[in-house]
A and B are shown apart, each in its own frame.
Chain A
Amino acid sequence: MTFDTVNLIPVLPEILILILASAVLLVDLYVKEAEKGTLHTLALIGVALALAATLLVGGGERQVVLEGHYVRDALSDALKAMILIVGLLVFVYSRDYLRDRGLATGEYYALALFALLGMMVMVSANSFLAIYLGLELLALCLYALVAFDRDSQRGAEAAMKYFVLGALGSGMLLYGISMIYGATGSLALDEVAAVVAEQGLENLVLVFGLAFLVVGIGFKFGAVPFHMWVPDIYEGAPTPVVLLLGSAPKIAALALAVRLLIDGLGGLQSDWQGMLVILSVLSMGLGNLLAIAQTNIKRMLAYSTISHVGFIFLGLLAGTADGFAAAMFYAIVYAMMAAGAFGILLILSRRGFDAEHLDDLKGLNDRDTWYAAVMALMMFSMAGVPPFVGFMAKLFVLKAVVDIGMTWLAIVAVFFSIIGAFYYLRIVWLIYFDKPTTDAPLTDSGGVRVAMSLNGLAVLGLGLFPATLLAICQAAFL
């Protein structure tokens, strides 16, 4: 057992983020209160470097290093790059909000970076141990970030709920993992997969463990009936934190599902398919129906997340390479749309005022035509209106489901997404056909306009030319 530094080259992006997060903690001690902007610049440069490193070490053959705990393949390259890009957007959008409320401290940046690290660990995990530790790293950072505004009663309450339910979800996942470890005698995903292929459904312990794994994954995704935490946390947490926890972690959760259900327990597909069908239908139904009744836009977007999770599950349960690629496409696209939508809310917020209600969006067109157009674009895309990318994502997922002969499921999905279109279009209506209630200036210094434009154009451009991203997703499941 020798240690070779060549083995560390694929891990370079993670190492860079870890160094960056530690550097932010140290630099924070030496910069004055007025110069906290340095940390923002440092974080942006660091994440951009890690993104470059991901692309640099990426590509080529699948590599398994660090005694089988770490894998770098086409899936991990693509998902990691997307997580880092969304991370960059999150930092750019949330700067003004944090600065105006005195929250732009070193701890915020350090915790957000550690959360990114946790997601990257999950994406690149090749053993149950690495997956679980990555998940806990991410979750702990998010618990702390939800309570980050210490003077906010709602934030503390949301963090408490998130912590208790998140711990319950982790416990379920861990229990399932321990069952599977007991049945297979290994924590490495490929060894587990070998045993599963051999024994399949005959081994009751495997099936038992699988049920708990699916429950754990459902908790982490926020799928019905494990969704209770989502709306409360979205409503109570500070908007930049919601932006962070509502976007990139969906990509990481997809990786969690892919690694556990496909890489590890692919042999039990006939079993988890049925469970995912139930989760998927309930999520699409309940998410879309309850979103209509919301007047708080953060809560509305929370229910919308739940319905989108249902669509991601549609792709996964198809069980074909095309289905997995469609689910991956959906998760990536959803993360971008969520980042854009919450970014607009941050632009609308200002010192002493949080944009939270649907009424706050009224007449956005009269206040800023471009942001209004971007927000409308995000809403059209989430609703699944062509030619935006949300439509393509839904189309690929539905196609995968129809291909395996579950046409009824596709019809149910289309039905609920038509219901869902109502509340997205209501926002477009408010933006364009209502008079603004205030003419307070928008907060968008420091490249927010550029980032938001790129984000909006990506949603439009990928909708017109989805082939590149789709090819990347398909390459991950060859």
Chain B
Amino acid sequence: MGFEKFLFYCFAAITVVAAGMVVTRRNPVHAVLYLVLAFVSSAVLWLLIEAEFLGIVLVLVYVGAVMVLFLFVVMMLDVDLAALRAGFVRFLPIGGLVAAAMAVQIFLVVGPANFGLEAFPKPPAAPAEYSNTEALGLALYTEHLYPFEIAAVILLVAIVAAIRLTLRRRPDTKYIDPSAQVQVKKGPDRVRLVKMPAEGKVETP
């Protein structure tokens, strides 16, 4: 067993354990931190198959940006864990049974019989000056231009939908519009004279 294979099994095991921890931890902050661990170790797996760019992007984008945002959200929201876990023990036997059955089935299909090393031999090593980033860019902007554009439209839709569903103009806010303030002129805008009838005589004891 070569050193690479040893590394693969190490990090694959870490990924699986971390993923398991994500769904079983009681504290949501711990769960998010385990998710970070899962991402980092899968980034190492990317590196092992010489997809350096993807590996680094995974760390930069997912761990660096997305997960940090996620952590903020989890810390700010008050998640009621008791309610979430109410059915956990009750449904554990049946859930576990289904999961076990599916795991066996998936292993039979995805296992070594169909996806073994014979079916997918190691690709020839790339030359030293080979650039992952360049190859990815070429594929993305030529061969997959159409899916790339649709993905861009999907992101636009996500922005539009998110703004529509969350942005509200609240009538009761005390926000002051500076431009309206500046435009106030002398005279009727600034002072309003109110004519009132005089009060009747007030009896004083």
Mask of A178-189 contacts with B, CB within 8 angstroms, 1/0: 010011000000
Q: Is the CB of B142 within 8 A of A1?
A: yes
B116: min CB distance to chain A, Å:
12
Answer yes or no: B158 CB below 8 A from chain A CBs.
Answer: yes
Answer yes or no: A69 CB below 8 A from chain B CBs.
Answer: yes
- Point out the residues of chain A lying under 8 angstroms from B113, CB to CB: 204
Answer yes or no: A469 CB below 8 A from chain B CBs.
Answer: no
Answer yes or no: A50 CB below 8 A from chain B CBs.
Answer: no
How far does the alpha carbon of A107 sit from the alpha carbon of B165 in the complex, in Å? 10
A1: min CB distance to chain B, Å:
5
Question: Which listed segment binds A: B12-20, B70-78, B143-151, B172-180?
Answer: B143-151
Q: Is the CB of A144 within 8 A of B144?
A: no
Q: Is the CB of A129 within 8 A of B144?
A: yes
- Point out the residues of chain A lying under 8 angstroms from B150, CB to CB: 121, 130, 133-134, 137
- Point out the residues of chain B lying under 8 angstroms from A137, CB to CB: 150, 153-154, 157
Q: Is the CB of A150 within 8 A of B144?
A: no
Q: Is the CB of A1 within 8 A of B143?
A: yes
B170: min CB distance to chain A, Å:
12
Interface size class of A (residues with CB under 8 A): 35 or more
Q: Is the CB of B114 within 8 A of A69?
A: no
Number of A-B contacts (CB under 8 A): 82
Most-contacted residue by chain B among A70, A144, A183 (CB, 10 A): A144
Answer yes or no: B97 CB below 8 A from chain A CBs.
Answer: no
- Point out the residues of chain B lying under 8 angstroms from A127, CB to CB: 147
Number of interface residues of B (CB under 8 A): 26
Contacts A182-B115, A205-B114 given; indicate if A133 touches B151 (C-beta within 8 A): yes
Answer yes or no: B126 CB below 8 A from chain A CBs.
Answer: no
Q: Which of A78-119 contact B (CB under 8 A)?
A: 105, 107, 110-111, 114, 117
* A144 interface neighbour in B108, B161, B168, Cβ under 8 Å: B161
Interface residues of B (CB under 8 A from A): 105, 108-110, 113-115, 142-147, 150-151, 153-154, 156-158, 160-161, 163-165, 168
Interface residues of A (CB under 8 A from B): 1, 3, 18, 22, 25, 66-67, 69-70, 105, 107, 110-111, 114, 117, 121, 127, 129-130, 133-134, 136-137, 140-141, 143-144, 147-148, 150, 179, 182-183, 203-205, 208
Known: A107-B163, A205-B115. 8 other contacts (CB 8 A): A105-B164, A107-B164, A117-B153, A130-B147, A136-B154, A143-B161, A182-B114, A205-B109
A-B contact pairs, 19 of them (CB 8 A): A18-B153, A25-B160, A67-B144, A67-B146, A107-B160, A107-B163, A107-B164, A129-B144, A129-B147, A130-B147, A140-B154, A140-B158, A144-B157, A144-B160, A150-B165, A204-B108, A204-B109, A204-B113, A205-B114
